[in-house]
Structure 1
């Protein structure tokens, strides 16, 4: 059992148990073995006019606590080398409001990270910042990562006459790209770019399945600056990556997280509604492939200019900020460009051809994709999908089946073009 405590500095226990880890919110405890979450951020938000509701603020504190736990809890110490059993003691401002949603949140975290969570809510969090609030001019929130899908999402919202407030999670490789896209699409004052600021000594768990919760926390916090009573938070992600079907039997998750899986989003929406956080989460492209998103983008001139500059690679840092060309996200990206009628792929890939690429360390993604394509071709798409659509309602299922079938066809075209099939 991994035990983690997240608390304000003044509620930090004088002594920690031998197996316990601790983090303090927004201020360093200056104590050996105690980590810090988002140092000085509380004061910064107050100065910038943030005055979120207690419910919104506690959602932020909860998400940051999960992210800190996810980073410090090593999967290698678990019995199977992956699945962790975690007890998280999370300090909130108003814990009683969250207590009825304890089981729902534990299930939500299991969907996201694959681990077994036990949550303990305490009143050791901080109160919300009390800045001088003035509503911003934007009418919705849209996540902006620096990737192709989020760029298309922003382009489409602006083309439709919407005024999105863009929210980014700081990423060293994409920070300037995020700022450039946000300024281009929304102008000055239409972008928040934050980091969870989690720091501690010791090894870090690299899988970071829970990291996306910080992104949602930032989005919900940004939405609190809008004047609308129930603003929409747009999560622009193509349907193939949303559902993330296992490419081969036994490969439980081919991509990095279940960040945008419709089941996870529906559970998250249910919790937000239950505790009184008034936002609407929207997956506008859940029935579209990446190639369809490119072809249907409402601003083709800008897409043509910017598409190859976006970031998709799952190993971008490994290859010195260059797309590898052979990880699953890169292959989906290359397949989308192949399907796009608007222009050529000018992206610089370490391995521009799958057939001639050397096998890098880690999973052999081209082989997994090839096996998935062959299974769908020889045995039918339903055999490939297996139970991947069990989450979907009966009316939705044909739409998800179609996007996954179309996604496999886009990948098949890529593999055929590279001479791998």
Structure 2
């Protein structure tokens, strides 16, 4: 599978066989050529963005990887999942990226589970040379519309930090993203963008690389802030950061690595090497979702808003209602249960994990139950296997504890609902 992403003016006259091409930020006006974030560069210039070349090329690369992830169907691969992707990206200043091709390929392999080959060329879009204006913020915080990002935002503003919130446009979550940012940071404290990737043909629904657009937006937002190294906060609980497979068959990219500490470390290495002055923070990597709720610095505000957040992996399948049985819903229920009775006012299609639901795909409640029984029989270390192989000795015990505690939160609702 071959993907080419570059500026419309740099597209070759002819493409390679089976190559899908994309143009950055404006339409190429050519049949079969997809587009990434049409007119966005013009909007950034109007809004006062003037990023340096390293930041801008990081944005272009991340959006190109998102386009490749969407345009390469897993169903056509040899095993029905793992793809072999050749990605060529036009950058504004490719020379600073020399020597990072293998690092990029390994980073994307960890994220998506595929085999990547990366080629970096000139020909990317030039910088959006807006008139830079200062913004009154001291950090960036990702805001998805989920429960963890809400806690992260509440904690930052309670600590008197001044975050600018960055969101990736999502039809189901966009209104609540706007509402949360306004409530926490007031007006003009939120940037909400979309990757705007369009093309003809089948779209791959697994979207394991979608988070790269989120990180690209955050790094771009950081370019408007002053400071030697701008902090970018990624509020995610430790259990989901590591996302251990509940059953042996659910490995590699079947368990997403969007906020995995190893992936974050690889991305930090890349940003440092490129000279992008940001630091990625995982402040809750040693806390479960329940512990995040219990430790929130403004529990009254959290109690008011928590049940309006979105966690469900099948939210659109059930007409924008939490299914109540997928892994994210189980973790959400377990967190509320740990926080205290009466806190969870979420509407679930399946209030009990014991309810049958054959239409929603894998039986995640049964997988969670098998994981709990496996830990009871064989111990936590045997269950985790090589899951913590990435962690250094100083942090391994903390990661082990958060995984054990997180599984215990899920176990509590499995037992409450009579699944165990």
Asked if Structure 1 and Structure 2 have the same fold, meaning a TM-score greater than 0.5 normalized by the shorter chain, the answer is yes
Choose 360-369 or 85-94, whichever is displaced more: 360-369
Write out per-residue CA displacement over residues 127-153 of structure 1, whole angstroms, 9 at most, x where no aligned residue: 111111112100000000000000000
Q: Is the 8 A contact 1:156 1:299 kept in 2?
A: yes
Offset at residue 296 of structure 1 (A) = 0.4
- Output the CA distance in 2 between the equivalents of 1:303 and 1:255: 31
Distance 1:314 1:341 in 2: 24
Where does residue 178 of structure 1 map in the other structure? 177
1:121 paired to 2:123: no
Q: Deviations over 1:201-232 (max 9, x none)?
A: 11100010000000000000000010112110
In the alignment, is the contact (CA less than 8 A) between 1:244 and 1:254 conserved in 2? no
Indicate the residue corresponding to 1:211 in structure 2: 210
* Equivalenced residues, count: 420
- 1:386 alignment partner in structure 2: 385
Corresponding residue SS for 1:360: helix
Q: Which residue of 1 aligns with 2:230?
A: 231
Alpha carbons 2:208, 2:253 under 8 Å: kept: no
Conserved? CA contact 1:304–1:342, under 8 Å = no
> Residue 139 of structure 2 aligns with which residue?
140
Deviations, residues 139-187 of structure 1 (Å, cap 9, x unaligned):
0000000000000000000011100100000000000000000000001
Aligned to 1:54: 53
Distance 1:322 1:184 in 2: 23
Report the counterpart of residue 32 of structure 1 in structure 2. 31
Q: Which moved more, 1:260-269 or 1:98-107?
A: 98-107
> Per-residue CA shift, 1:308-365, capped at 9, x if unaligned?
0000000101110000000000000000010003742110000110112323332110
In angstroms, what is the RMSD of aligned CA positions?
1.1
Task: Write the distance in 1 (CA, Å) between the matches of 2:325 and 2:316.
Answer: 14
What TM-score comes out, normalization by structure 2 length?
A: 0.99
- For the residues of structure 2 that align with 1:256 and 1:26, how far apart are their CA atoms? 32
Q: Partners in 2 of 1:91 and 1:254 — Cα distance?
A: 27
Q: Which moved more, 1:333-342 or 1:159-168?
A: 333-342
* Aligned match of 1:104: 103
Matches of 2:418 and 2:151, distance apart in 1: 30
| Cα shift readout 1:21-45 (whole Å, capped 9, x = no counterpart) | 1000001012111000000011110
**Which digits, 9 at most, give the CA deviation of each residue in 1:261-301, with x for residues without a partner?**
00000000000000111100000000000000000000000
> What residue number does 1:92 align with?
91
Mapped partners of 1:318, 1:81: distance in 2: 23
Moved more, 318-327 or 378-387: 378-387
Query: Counterparts of 2:100 and 2:229 in 1: how far apart (Å)?
Result: 21
Question: What secondary structure sits across from 1:65 in the alignment?
Answer: helix
- Structure 1: gaps of 5 or more residues: none
Please give the residue correspondences for 1:10-409 in structure 2 after superposition, counting only pairs within 5 Å. 10-252=9-251, 257-341=256-340, 343-409=342-408
8 Å contact kept, 1:86–1:118: yes
CA-to-aligned-CA distance 1:89-145 (integer Å, 9 cap, x gap): 101001111112111111000000001111111111011111111121000000000
SS of residue matched to 1:363: coil
Judging changes above 3 Å, is the alpha-carbon distance between structure 1 residues 255 and 161 closer, same or farther for their aligned structure 2 residues? Answer: farther
CA distance in 2, matches of 1:330, 1:360: 16
Structure 2, unmatched stretches of 5+, are: none
Partner Cα distance (1:278, 1:146) in 2: 27
In 2, Cα distance between equivalents of 1:192 and 1:291: 28
Is contact 1:245–1:254 with CA below 8 Å preserved after alignment? no
In the TM superposition, residue 380 of structure 1 has moved relative to its aligned partner by: 1.0
Contact 1:85 1:115 in 2 (8 A): yes
Which has the higher mean CA deviation after the structures are superposed, 141-150 or 6-15?
A: 6-15
Say whether the 8 Å CA contact 2:246–2:370 is kept in structure 1.
yes
- Inter-partner Cα distance in structure 2 for 1:292 and 1:343: 17
